[in-house]
Amino acid sequence: MSQDASLTRSECLIRYRKSINLSFELFLFNLWQLLQVAAYAQKDAEKKNAKLMPSEADMKFTARLYENPLVQSILLHQQFLGLVSTFEFKEKTDIDIIRRLYYDFAKTDIYLRYLDNTEASTEDHRQVLLQLYKFCISEELFTDKIEDFYPTWTDDRSLIIGSMKKALKALPADAEYLTAYRPTEETTKDFGEYLLTSVLDKDQEYLDIIEPTLKNWDADRVAIIDMILLKMALAELMGFPTIPTKVTLNEFVEISKLYSTDKSKDFINGILDRLLKKLDKDGKINKEGRGLIE
List, in order, residues 6 or more apart from 185 with CB less than 8 Å away: none
Q: What angle do CA 102, 170, 184 make, to 5 degrees?
A: 110
CA separation, residue 227 to residues 149, 207, 247, 252, 267 (Å)? 31, 8, 19, 11, 11
Is 265 within 8 Å of 256 (Cβ atoms)?
Answer: yes
Is the pTM value of this prediction over 0.85?
no
- Residue 2 is predicted with a pLDDT of 45
Alpha-carbon gap, residue 268 to 229, rounded angstroms: 8
- Asked whether the CA dihedral 186, 188, 189, 190 is positive or negative, the reply is positive
- Residue 294 is predicted with a pLDDT of 54
- Residue 293 is predicted with a pLDDT of 52
Alpha-carbon gap, residue 178 to 166, rounded angstroms: 11
pLDDT digits (tens, 9 = 90+) for 138-186: 999 999 999 999 999 998 999 899 999 999 999 999 989 999 888 887 7
Question: HSE (CB half, 13 Å, CA atoms) of 40?
Answer: 20
End-to-end CA distance of the chain: 29
The DSSP symbol for 52 reads S
DSSP 61-98: ---HHHH-HHHHHHHT-HHHHHHHHHTTHHHH--HHHH
Is 175 within 8 Å of 130 (Cβ atoms)?
Answer: no
- Residue 58 is predicted with a pLDDT of 63
Mean pLDDT of successive 10-residue segments in the chain (294 residues)?
Answer: 63 89 96 98 86 73 91 96 97 97 97 92 97 98 96 92 95 92 82 90 94 81 90 93 92 88 89 92 76 51
- What are the chain's domains? 24-181 (no CATH), 185-281 (1.10.940.10)
